Amino acid sequence: MTAAMAATHEVANQVPPLEGYDAYGADAWLRAAVARAKVPWVEAAAHALGMYVGSPEARHHAMLANRFTPELHTHDATGHRVDRVEYHPSYHVLMNRALNAGVHSMAWKCQPGGFSARAALFYLWNQLEQGTACPITMTFASIAVFDQAPALSRQWRPKVLADAYDPRPEPMARKSGVTIGMAMTEKQGGSDLRAVATVAVPDGEAWRLTGHKWFCSAPMSDGFFTLARVPEGVTCFFVPRSLPDGTRNTFLIQRLKEKIGNRSNASSEIEYRDTWAEIVGDPGRGIPTLISMAHHTRFDIIVGVAGMMRTALNHALHHARHREAFGKALIDHALMSNVLADLALEAEAAALLAFRLAAAFDAAVSGNAAQANLQRALTPVAKYWLCKRMTPVATEAMECLGGNGYVEESVLARLYREAPLNGIWEGSANVICLDVLRAFARSPEALGAIESEIAAGNDARIARRAQAALKLLRDPAAAESQARTVLETLAVCVQASLMKRHSEGAAAEAFCASRLDDGARSLGTLALDGAGLKAIAARAEMGSG
């Protein structure tokens, strides 16, 4: 560069990168959650992971793993089928770091308090990278299904919980650690799993599967819980990628999805052709068998989204602190303070909800029936609501960075593409809402558990708002079309109750004032009857009128 060119290129008023900090040590909310859960033993691991998450090295790996996306090799050079996904080395670095830290395993190995301690680690991990979070979550959640299949569990559990990352395509017995996926969705439907068309036929003690799966993430995992049809109905099976004799099971990866976000993680379409499988649970009971895995995955999504909101907020605050406009730092402008404060309330209430649930999971492990009810009932409600809030939070945080937020070097750009995904998988919004309505109808104690949690906030406004949701719920003509309003209101009331108990007074007051009286905040919450809703939608259809 010539001196003349350099002279015109003075860089001013640009923000230093947000890196080189301890994402655990710097986070008072997270440290308070760990203290409330009485798990001080996780602090050393949380500081170590927090330092890693905040390091430029880890940030660089996260960027590379998402920029250089996985590639599928269906055949080797001499035409043999290999069905191998090649990841960028940074993906392996990240997986290795997370699994070595027990981000997938701690809940099952360290009781009491393991769910809360692990949630702290997973909350931190989601401030770094979400593509790796997918196999970490599925591996964590798989234990809930292994626990229903004692023989399979005896073989696989120790390797699932081994805190080792071993990506070699070898049989489980030869590996230091394994990861687990799940393959349920087919072309004709993902929400309605009763439509599964894959067929299973017996082969001695084992089974052979034939069919396709339309979405199968992390296809290099070592085993998959999957669904296939037998005469009794849809049934759960376990498909290992390698067979005990060392050969590869038939697991034909047809192509990888080209996704909006979550790009470091391969998501594939696969075919089973006479694929060897073991049955899990009773024939015809596949969906209830897999529900426990889906439930734990939903819990992880809540913790993950809370972590994603935390990192969005951190970047917005950091930028506003260092960037000047119109003569002063952005953070000192009254209107920007309003945006930042609102983001902070959202992220804090999300973290409180996530760690309250983690505590309920821990209490349930210790045999507390009321807390078991709470975690069962609140998990889908919180999953629905935090996923709905994630996209507006990512968008606002991005806007705080102005143009710098909209370029690929910015973490916000990746976070923005990531934001809607958790709302789609593991039960998209409407499906979750309908599940919750059915659960409330089946077991009134589920709703009771949420009501008790709301009441613990001891605040008349919160109680009044919750009553409005309960009234809708009791109205059979309104309950289904108003289900989003019901779930949103219950979630916000639990968050308000938690803010009253655990946040600072003014923040709790601001949360209640802005969230309880404002009415609904998401699309799909119009207060109209079925005919009114249909008429509006029909008027908008192409060709109408």
Ligand X SMILES: Cc1cc2nc3c(=O)[nH]c(=O)nc-3n(C[C@H](O)[C@H](O)[C@H](O)COP(=O)(O)OP(=O)(O)OC[C@H]3O[C@@H](n4cnc5c(N)ncnc54)[C@H](O)[C@@H]3O)c2cc1C
Distance CA 34, CA 355 (A): 9
Interaction of residue 297 with ligand X, rule CB under 6 A:
no
> Please, which residue, 291 or 336, has the CB nearer to ligand X?
291
Interaction of residue 185 with ligand X, rule CB under 6 A:
yes
- Residue 416's identity, in one-letter code, is Y
Stretch that binds ligand X, among 64-72, 214-222, 459-467, 505-513 (CB under 6 A): 214-222
**Interacting positions 432-471 with ligand X (CB under 6 A):** 434
> Please, which residue, 186 or 348, has the CB nearer to ligand X?
186
Q: Are strands 233-240 and 223-230 parallel, antiparallel or unpaired?
A: antiparallel
> Please, which residue, 122 or 425, has the CB nearer to ligand X?
425
Stretch that binds ligand X, among 111-119, 210-218, 230-238, 242-250 (CB under 6 A): 210-218
Question: What does 189-257 look like in DSSP terms, one character per residue?
Answer: BSS-GGG---EEEEETTEEEEEEEEEEEESTTSSEEEEEEEETTEEEEEEEESB-TTSPBP--EEEEE-
Judged by CB under 6 A, the residue of 217, 264, 422, 481 near ligand X is 217
Q: How many CB atoms lie within 10 A of CB 82?
A: 13
Q: What is the DSSP letter of 186?
A: B
Stretch that binds ligand X, among 167-175, 212-220, 335-343, 392-400 (CB under 6 A): 212-220
Q: Which residues contact 504 (CB under 8 A, 6 or more apart)?
A: none
**Interacting positions 526-545 with ligand X (CB under 6 A):** none
Residue pointed to by tokens 């709302």: 423
- Residue 26's identity, in one-letter code, is A
> Please, which residue, 182 or 236, has the CB nearer to ligand X?
182
**Interacting positions 84-113 with ligand X (CB under 6 A):** none
**What are the CA-CA distances from residue 6 to residues 3, 11, 353 (Å)?**
5, 10, 51
**Interacting positions 187-206 with ligand X (CB under 6 A):** 189-191
Interaction of residue 254 with ligand X, rule CB under 6 A:
no
Judged by CB under 6 A, the residue of 153, 391, 395, 428 near ligand X is 428
> Please, which residue, 263 or 323, has the CB nearer to ligand X?
263
Stretch that binds ligand X, among 166-174, 228-236, 422-430, 536-544 (CB under 6 A): 422-430
Judged by CB under 6 A, the residue of 425, 466, 473, 498 near ligand X is 425
Interaction of residue 234 with ligand X, rule CB under 6 A:
no
Distance CA 494, CA 253 (A): 43
Judged by CB under 6 A, the residue of 216, 363, 386, 454 near ligand X is 216
Judged by CB under 6 A, the residue of 230, 291, 431, 470 near ligand X is 431
- Number of residues this chain uses to bind ligand X (CB under 6 A): 22
Distance CA 295, CA 289 (A): 11
| Rounded (10°) angle between helices 286-322 and 411-418 | 150
Q: Is the backbone of residue 20 left (phi > 0), alpha (psi -120 to 50) or beta? A: left
Stretch that binds ligand X, among 1-9, 405-413, 423-431, 465-473 (CB under 6 A): 423-431
Is residue 167 within 8 Å of 407, Cβ to Cβ?
A: no
Which single residue brings its beta carbon nearest to ligand X?
A: 190
Radius of gyration of the chain (CA): 24
Interaction of residue 132 with ligand X, rule CB under 6 A:
no
Interaction of residue 429 with ligand X, rule CB under 6 A:
yes
- Residue 35's identity, in one-letter code, is A
Q: Helices (H) and strands (E) in the chain — how many of each?
A: 20, 11
> Please, which residue, 268 or 497, has the CB nearer to ligand X?
268
- Residue 436's identity, in one-letter code, is V
> Please, which residue, 369 or 441, has the CB nearer to ligand X?
441
Instruction: Report the candidate in 197, 181, 99 with the shortest Cα–Cα distance to residue 142.
Output: 181
Question: What does 495-527 look like in DSSP terms, one character per residue?
Answer: HHHHHHHHS-HHHHHHHHHHHTSS---SSS---
Distance CA 342, CA 70 (A): 37
**What are the CA-CA distances from residue 430 to residues 3, 152, 287, 505 (Å)?**
61, 34, 18, 35
Instruction: Report the candidate in 290, 187, 196, 198 with the shortest Cα–Cα distance to residue 251.
Output: 198
Interaction of residue 305 with ligand X, rule CB under 6 A:
no
> Please, which residue, 208 or 213, has the CB nearer to ligand X?
213
CB of 452 to ligand X, least distance (A): 29
Stretch that binds ligand X, among 13-21, 95-103, 329-337, 425-433 (CB under 6 A): 425-433
Stretch that binds ligand X, among 12-20, 345-353, 363-371, 428-436 (CB under 6 A): 428-436
Judged by CB under 6 A, the residue of 179, 250, 267, 311 near ligand X is 267
Interaction of residue 183 with ligand X, rule CB under 6 A:
yes
426, exposed or middle or buried, with CB in 10 Å at 0-12, 13-18, 19+?
buried
Interaction of residue 424 with ligand X, rule CB under 6 A:
yes
> Please, which residue, 113 or 427, has the CB nearer to ligand X?
427
Distance CA 129, CA 415 (A): 9
> Please, which residue, 160 or 183, has the CB nearer to ligand X?
183
> Please, which residue, 275 or 371, has the CB nearer to ligand X?
275
Stretch that binds ligand X, among 181-189, 299-307, 309-317, 451-459 (CB under 6 A): 181-189
Judged by CB under 6 A, the residue of 262, 371, 373, 482 near ligand X is 262
> Please, which residue, 220 or 344, has the CB nearer to ligand X?
220
Binding site for ligand X (CB under 6 A): 181-185, 189-191, 215-217, 259, 262, 267, 421, 424-425, 428-431, 434
